[in-house]
């Protein structure tokens, strides 16, 4: 079984549907979920069973989740909701894309120191908001600082933060991660805002150098170093670090809380001064300036044996956990305010005296010897009576501890390992089993659930590349959907969930989104519109407009060309439009000299951009086939149109005049003149005889 499988598909409060697990910590698992009410993706943090079953924890959880929900800052992960469902406590938070700062440091080592300062400044702003509401984070570490794609950060896990004086822990233990807790936190003292400032100092130290100031094989040894050891100056690890940034880090790491920055806002201003190139203001006055940053001497008399006893054995180093209370045999300088001032820049290479270390070891051995003798005299430990050891496999640690103590045994070393067949937080095995001496210790091994791996970064990979990268670490890559992207080419991955660097169980499905490239859109067709109408329509849809003018036979002022016209383009592209200036006015060639043939005149006019119309007429002066006249006349400037030319048909032909006759009528007989009268002829007396028959 997988930790993810136990929750996938579950719906909290009838609203938050669990999709997949995106992370696991020492106290909770985090899942990606869908908020059905608001239709958005959220992150749901579900408390592990062993904590959900602890009444004191759940009481504090309810109060602190409500306090965290009131924190509003662009640099704090928003807490939307929290509740209790089916004996499980959960917190609903903003789903943040990006990767945590720890992953970035692990992948790159030391990061750019200016970027580290920018991150520190933003974290300081987040802490200022919380501290102003009397909320101490108590677990500032790079795992809780999400770096988003835009470079800004979001601080997470204010859900385990505690409002001052809210709920007292019965064991006086404190929550935190050994590598990043403050000295006062390791000693179980009341915490102030200065504790978060110390933890942020360690984060900046690690970011600027790529290394932690204190490290060890287990949480106890690391916590002891936080209390008593001075950190190696960052410049000894990274010689390129700016002295001002180094001073800011070392002030934040002062053992005495009063020697640190008074507020997170003071630290933010110092970081901003460094980023702006201004003189950096540090606490401590003129004496501090002359000696640069002053380091605080180590406290003495820390009771190592007592600390180990509180831890119950070796604890994991990296996770958030309940840290031991470290009571010293002598008063700590962090309590009295007294400390030895030394210039770390001048003295860090000098050999240290071994005398204090020998004294400390002797003191620890003496305390351990005395404690052992006293314990033996008091009759502690095993009695020698052999009794049955309860079988506590499958139980939570608190349940197992309670059952063992009822049977007369003590809880011994508690370790953990991955086991896909056992729920996280439950006992896998115990030693001894069967019978054992009453009063002896029983060691437990707890399940961490499935083995977790870091999610590869699929960004800009092809699906095949992503599947290969996922399979290499025991994960599965599956396509969720596709979308448009201006920065990722078509067919490559633009997003994924869980995000790169997240810790997930082996076998988890990593969903990815494939880019379809830039989304193309079609510009509106503005041909026939006026210039102003076209510009207004294109700009309203987000396009740029390139206006040009040219002659055309279209109405002046109207758009007659557009590029692109019907093709899809990127949003915001520029569209070229051409506005008509009306027909172009050309000078008409003179072809009417009488010496130009029709074909030559036509060719000349067409070459000049005119159309040609022809007519004809007789001319006695212009040879047949040549141009007699034209309209418009030659030399006239007119818009390109039609020129009419008149072609000569030659001279008009001549004709003889004729008298028309009426058909079917006889031709009249001419009347003879008196001179032609025959003397011998008779003059007719009857008028009817005046005309002879037409025979």
Indicate which residues carry an active-site annotation.
Answer: 139
CA distances 272 to 125, 197, 244, 303, 546, Å, are 11, 16, 11, 40, 45
CB 33 within 8 Å of CB 19: yes
Q: End-to-end distance of the chain based on CA atoms, in angstroms?
A: 143
Strands 574-580 and 544-550: parallel
3-state secondary structure 567-625: CEECCCCEEEEEEECCCCEEECCCCCCCCCEHHHHHHHHHHCCCEEEEEEECCCCCCCC
**350 token code pair:** 């000098």
**388 token code pair:** 């049955």
CB 419 within 8 Å of CB 2: no
CB 189 within 8 Å of CB 183: no
**179 token code pair:** 């590598």
For residue 632, whether the previous peptide bond is cis, meaning omega lies within 30 degrees of 0, is yes
With CA atoms as reference, report the closest residue to 127 among 204, 25, 226.
204
Alpha helices in 134-192 (DSSP H): 183-186
**If you search the block for the tokens 């592209």, which residue do you land on?**
573
CB 17 within 8 Å of CB 434: no
Under DSSP, is residue 444 helix (H, G, I), strand (E, B) or coil?
Answer: strand
Cα–Cα distance measured from residue 332 to residue 5, given in angstroms and rounded to the nearest whole number: 49
Helices (H) then strands (E): counts for the chain: 19, 35
Strands 410-417 and 441-447: parallel
Cα–Cα distance measured from residue 380 to residue 244, given in angstroms and rounded to the nearest whole number: 55
**506 token code pair:** 């082996």
CB 190 within 8 Å of CB 273: no
CB 248 within 8 Å of CB 280: yes
Cα–Cα distance measured from residue 550 to residue 576, given in angstroms and rounded to the nearest whole number: 13
Which residues, at least 6 apart from 189, have a Cβ–Cβ distance to it below 8 Å?
335
In degrees and rounded to multiples of 5, residue 350 shows phi and psi of -75, 145
Strands 88-94 and 40-47: antiparallel
DSSP 324: P
Cα–Cα distance measured from residue 455 to residue 452, given in angstroms and rounded to the nearest whole number: 9
Is 554 marked within a binding site?
A: no
Binding-site positions for ATP read 45
Binding-site positions read 45
């Amino acid at each position: 079984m997988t930790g993810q499988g136990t929750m996938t598909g579950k719906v909290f409060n009838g609203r938050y549907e669990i999709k997949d697990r995106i992370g696991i910590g020492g106290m909770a698992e985090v899942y990606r979920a869908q908020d059905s009410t608001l239709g958005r993706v959220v992150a749901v943090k579900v408390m592990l069973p062993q904590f959900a079953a602890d009444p004191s924890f759940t009481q504090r959880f309810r109060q602190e989740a409500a306090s965290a929900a009131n924190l509003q800052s662009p640099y704090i992960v928003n807490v939307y909701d929290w509740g209790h469902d089916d004996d499980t406590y959960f917190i609903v938070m903003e789903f943040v894309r990006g990767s945590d700062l720890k992953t970035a440091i692990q992948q790159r080592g030391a990061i750019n120191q200016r970027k580290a300062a920018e991150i520190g400044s933003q974290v300081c702003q987040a802490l200022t908001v919380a501290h102003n509401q009397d909320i101490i984070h108590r677990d500032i570490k790079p795992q809780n600082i999400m770096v988003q794609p835009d470079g800004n950060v979001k601080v997470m896990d204010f859900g385990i933060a505690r409002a001052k004086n809210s709920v007292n822990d019965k064991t006086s233990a404190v929550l935190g991660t050994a590598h990043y807790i403050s000295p006062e936190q390791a000693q179980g003292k009341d915490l102030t805002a200065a504790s978060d400032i110390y933890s942020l100092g360690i984060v900046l130290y690690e970011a600027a150098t790529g290394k932690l100031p204190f490290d060890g094989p287990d949480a106890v040894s690391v916590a002891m170093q936080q209390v008593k050891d001075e950190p190696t100056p960052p410049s000894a690890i990274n010689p390129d670090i700016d002295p001002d940034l180094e001073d800011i880090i070392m002030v934040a790491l002062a053992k005495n809380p009063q020697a640190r920055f008074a507020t997170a806002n003071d630290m933010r201003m110092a970081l901003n001064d460094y980023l702006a190139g201004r003189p950096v203001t540090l606490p401590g006055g003129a004496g501090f300036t002359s000696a640069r940053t002053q380091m605080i001497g180590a406290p003495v008399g820390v009771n190592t044996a007592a600390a180990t006893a509180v831890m119950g054995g070796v604890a994991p180093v990296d996770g958030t956990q309940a840290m031991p209370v470290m009571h010293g045999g002598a008063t700590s300088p962090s309590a009295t305010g007294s400390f030895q001032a030394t210039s770390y820049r001048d003295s860090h290479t000098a050999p240290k005296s071994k005398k204090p270390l020998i004294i400390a070891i002797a003191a620890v051995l003496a305390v351990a010897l005395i404690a052992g003798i006293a314990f033996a005299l008091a009759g502690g430990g095993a009695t020698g009576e052999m009794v049955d050891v309860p079988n506590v496999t499958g139980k939570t640690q608190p349940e197992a501890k309670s059952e063992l103590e009822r049977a007369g045994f003590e809880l011994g070393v508690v370790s953990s390992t991955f086991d896909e067949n056992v729920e996280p937080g439950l006992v896998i095995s115990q030693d001894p089993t069967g019978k054992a001496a009453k009063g002896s210790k029983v060691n437990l091994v707890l399940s961490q659930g499935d083995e977790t791996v870091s999610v590869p970064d699929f960004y800009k990979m092809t699906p095949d590349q992503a599947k290969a990268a996922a399979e290499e670490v025991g994960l599965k890559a599956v396509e969720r959907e596709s979308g448009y992207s201006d920065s990722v080419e078509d067919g490559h991955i633009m997003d994924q969930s869980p995000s790169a660097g997240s810790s997930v169980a082996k076998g988890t499905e990593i969903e990815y989104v494939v880019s379809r490239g830039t989304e193309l859109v079609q510009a509106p067709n503005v041909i026939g519109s006026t210039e102003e109408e076209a510009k207004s329509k294109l700009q309203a849809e987000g396009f740029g407009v390139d206006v040009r003018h040219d002659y055309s036979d279209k109405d002046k002022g109207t758009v007659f060309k557009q590029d692109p016209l019907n093709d899809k383009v990127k949003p915001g592209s520029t569209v070229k439009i051409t506005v008509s200036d009306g027909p172009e006015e050309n000078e008409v060639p003179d072809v009417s000299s009488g010496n130009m043939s029709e074909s030559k005149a036509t060719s000349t006019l067409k070459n000049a951009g005119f159309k040609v119309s022809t007519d004809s007429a007789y001319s006695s002066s212009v040879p047949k086939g040549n141009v007699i006249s034209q309209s418009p006349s030659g030399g006239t400037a007119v818009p390109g149109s039609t020129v009419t030319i008149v072609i000569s048909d030659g001279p008009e032909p001549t004709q003889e005049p004729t008298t028309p006759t009426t058909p079917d009528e006889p031709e009249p007989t001419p009347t003879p003149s008196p001179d032609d009268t025959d003397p011998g002829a008779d003059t007719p007396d009857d008028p009817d005889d005046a005309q002879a028959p037409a025979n």
